[in-house]
Amino acid sequence: MKTYWPFQRRAAGMRGRLIVSLDVGTLAEATKLVQTLRGEVGMFKVGKQLFMHCGPAVVQMVRDHGSEVFLDLKFHDVPRTVAKAGVEATRLGVRMFDLHASGSLDMMQRTVNEVGRVCRTENLRRPKVLAVTVLTSLSHDDLQRIGVSGEIQDQVSRLALLAKEATMDGVVAPPQEAEPIRKLCGAGFLIVTPGIRPEESEPAPSDDYPPATPEAAIRAGADYLVVGQPIRDAADPAAAARAIVAAMQRAVATVPEVSLEGPESA
């Protein structure tokens, strides 16, 4: 099937590939941001802080506004527990959720299988199940201290391949890992990339790794871009989101068309 790697070249498609992090502390703040951006972006990321404060109500709020949720809770436990957590995320109606690839092949496979089963038996939409490879805050020394030898990129590659073997839909990976993962795992494997900042945006003290521009991430092979502070704290968040979508569109126009086997869109 002929498609584009990694995007179809449509402006509406670019909006759908932009995820905004709801890195705020309350449901009221999250609601205000969703109301402002729901027509400008494709998805909102809900992480641990907001979910622990609001619970499933924040997921329902986003869905009530007609938007999609990436539930970024990075599940990591025994396989049975993670699989059950994945089932409950599915029942919430999220579009994506993630878990740690280091939890084992069995943990990933069991989660994928249980999610598929509950979708069939309860007639639910199947979410994309993503693997987190190596946390962006971890250094080479950190990995050495927990018994992981070799370079960070080697560990990322091993875990990305393990996730693919487990039939996971893709990975969450920082910008500098997108290109090697794309080459290793192919075009049908989703890459969700955080740490995106427009060129004119100043790095934040909380950045765990060098940020990348939207253009650079797209050209490296990312499918979805996760943006937080540059949109959230902008004087006009909607205009900031539109500018990033435009940058994505410019970048994908430079990616050659190729013939690939796989779905037309993720």
Residues serving a catalytic function are: 74
| Vertex 221: Cα angle to 229 and 138 (nearest 5) | 55
Neighbours of 149 (CB within 10 A): 8
Of 24, 40, 30, 21, the C-alpha closest to 64 is 30
Q: CB under 8 Å to 39, separation ≥6 — which residues?
A: 238
Q: How far apart are CA 99 and CA 215, in angstroms?
A: 27
Preceding omega of 6 cis (within 30 degrees of 0): yes
Q: How far apart are CA 25 and CA 188, in angstroms?
A: 35
Amino acid (one-letter) located at 178: A
Q: Is the CA virtual torsion 145, 151, 152, 157 positive or negative?
A: negative
Phi, psi of 97 (to 5 degrees): -145, 165
Look-up of token digits 């979410």:
127
Of 2, 58, 62, 1, the C-alpha closest to 27 is 58
Containing 10, the helix (H) or strand (E) segment is: none
Given a contact cutoff of 8 angstroms between Cβ atoms, the answer to whether 6 and 256 are in contact is no
